[in-house]
Amino acid sequence: MAAIQRSIDDGPIVLQTDSVRLRPTTADDLDFVVQTEQDEDNRPFVGQWPRERHRDTCAEPNAAHLIIETIADRRAVGYVILTGLGDANETVELLRIVVSDKGQGHGRATLQLIKRFVFEELMAHRLWLDVRDHNIRARRLYESEGFLVEGTLRESTKVGERFESLVIMSMLAHEYQT
């Protein structure tokens, strides 16, 4: 993977590799974000937020709501939400990563960029996430990128009339490898 590059070509600083770019989500992106979240391929794995909650998260000082774009054509292919950017315990949560174009490597490239950003730029100690236990595709990706399972929050999330379990996964700074 190419080194993180910072670009100010078209406005705010963005982070990018040779295949994807992460840039701040704008009000113009919120329809895409909500639509991507509600897509039938994503809905079983992602909580559903109203547009206003996404908008409010964009304004939170300790959060980063980011659009994933392809470098080649600057097409939005997903979004990411990081929280805890100013956490006193130096812990960052990968709250959401949602990709619309699956099977193209965008999720892996984004996850690698997030790890580099969190550990090399923010100098965080810990990066963690939760993933629904039935989201095998995402769990395999996280494991292949070095995340370790910490445990399971059994039936902790109510979805419709049933409860689902969340698997907690994390990576520590000393486990991160470039």
Question: Across residues 41-70, what is the average pLDDT?
Answer: 92
Give me the CATH number covering residue 102.
Answer: 3.40.630.30
Determine, yes or no, domain membership for 116: yes
Measured CA to CA, the distance from residue 153 to residue 130 in angstroms comes to: 9
Q: Are 126 and 171 in contact (CB under 8 A)?
A: yes
Q: Is residue 79 part of a domain?
A: yes
**134 found inside a domain:** no
Q: Is residue 145 part of a domain?
A: no
Q: How far apart are CA 49 and CA 33, in angstroms?
A: 10
Q: Indicate whether 82 belongs to any domain.
A: yes
Query: What pLDDT, on a 0 to 100 scale, did the predictor assign at position 138?
Result: 95
pLDDT over 70 (residue 27): yes
Segment 99-126, tens digit of pLDDT: 998 888 999 999 999 999 999 999 999 9
pLDDT at 7: 42
Q: What's the whole-number mean pLDDT along residues 23-52?
A: 92
> Structural domain of residue 57, as residue ranges?
5-128
For the chain, the average pLDDT equals 90
Looking at residue 160, what is its pLDDT? 84
Phi, psi of 17 (to 5 degrees): -115, -160
- pLDDT at residue 164, as a whole number: 94
Residue 146 within any structural domain of the chain: no
Number of domains in the chain: 1
Residue 155 in domain: no
Residue type, 108: R
Nearest to 114 by CA among 146, 152, 139: 146
